[in-house]
A and B are shown apart, each in its own frame.
Chain A
């Protein structure tokens, strides 16, 4: 796996936006829900909600951080569910937030590994303040008759503040790709998932990713892309991790694709610790592509907010 260390870069705040509409897993989906660990998730009402969620999370973050629009040096938006093929939804969000014309705004097309990739790209810009927006409204692409996807996936969008502090620490990134899995998790009209193939990929690949991401020292919180409770618990066991430091919020939100890791930061057992003390975080994103990535980073006490839209 490629390893890249961006010294001086730090996550200083995160905010997540979720739709108000709760979709519960009961009846026909109860058994699947129990095994995968999803009791309910949030679904948007219409196509325009990706931008609404992105704007809400960004505004909340900028308020928390006391960032004016003029303070932002770049906007990076990671998503695979933009309602339009063009332009980049980053440009639309740039306009909604009244960011300066003088800054770059662009999209990255990544799914469940997208938060780690977004952190890497945003930190690599080495600009003082980067707004990283990550998330999907995957519910638009779910077939309600498909038991392998409909009970599992939910919508959420995060906004993360990446600052070049110049101080100690940084963001360490590892990434890899197994393109042979491209057909196992894909979307043309509807999301298609070969659950057995994805499961095999995750169990084969992620323990190695965990080992390589955490080889350089102590970690307070292991933040896994929340895809499947049974999968995460098994990977954690194989990796000898203490489950008390592996937060899960699948029961409330389901698999929220690239937003699942920042959603853990805003609403899980780790949230209060992130707000109040220094932490070392290890993050593991894996999914469509197949694409996989890990990040290890230190945080100071930071803002972590959750808003309903």
Chain B
């Protein structure tokens, strides 16, 4: 499988988070609202899809900004 570049991964994650929030697009500083357990579950799936890592939803529950989600995905 072709390795996804860091830039592409970030773009894919931003697109996935926008889809979860049901908005056309997001920036790093976008506030996660609403951000409930179902959003978290979708984010876990998106991170696994894009980064190939299964993160624990607990790490995402308290994220406030899109940037926080990107950090969790990056550190996983």
Number of A-B contacts (CB under 8 A): 41
Chain A residue contacts of B42, Cβ below 8 A: 35, 230
Interface SS of A by simple majority: helix
Interchain CB contact (< 8 A) of A230 among B41, B56, B57, B61: B41
Interchain CB contact (< 8 A) of B45 among A196, A197, A204, A230: A230
Is A234 an interface residue, CB under 8 A from the partner?
yes
Interface SS of B by simple majority: helix
Which residues of B does A touch, CB under 8 Å? 37-38, 40-42, 44-45, 48-49, 54-58, 61
Of B42, B49, B54, which is in contact with the most chain A CB atoms at under 10 Å from its CB? B54
Minimal beta-carbon separation of A189 from chain B (angstroms) = 22
Chain B residue contacts of A200, Cβ below 8 A: 44, 54-57
Q: Please, how many angstroms separate the alpha-carbon atoms of A301 and B10 in the complex?
A: 50
Would you call B58 and A196 a contact (CB within 8 A)? yes
Would you call A35 and B54 a contact (CB within 8 A)? no
Q: Mark A224-247, 1 if CB is under 8 A from B, else 0.
A: 000000100010011000000000
Would you call A195 and B56 a contact (CB within 8 A)? no
Is A32 an interface residue, CB under 8 A from the partner?
yes
Nearest residue, chain A, Cβ from B39: A35
Besides the contacts A195-B37, A196-B40, A196-B57, what 16 more A-B pairs have beta carbons closer than 8 Å? Answer: A31-B38, A32-B38, A196-B37, A196-B44, A196-B58, A197-B58, A200-B44, A200-B54, A200-B55, A200-B56, A200-B57, A203-B54, A204-B54, A234-B49, A237-B49, A238-B48
A to B CB contacts below 8 Å, 29 in the list: A31-B38, A32-B38, A35-B38, A35-B41, A35-B42, A148-B37, A195-B57, A196-B37, A196-B40, A196-B56, A196-B58, A197-B56, A197-B57, A197-B58, A199-B44, A200-B44, A200-B54, A200-B55, A200-B56, A203-B45, A203-B48, A203-B54, A204-B54, A230-B41, A230-B42, A230-B45, A234-B45, A234-B48, A237-B49
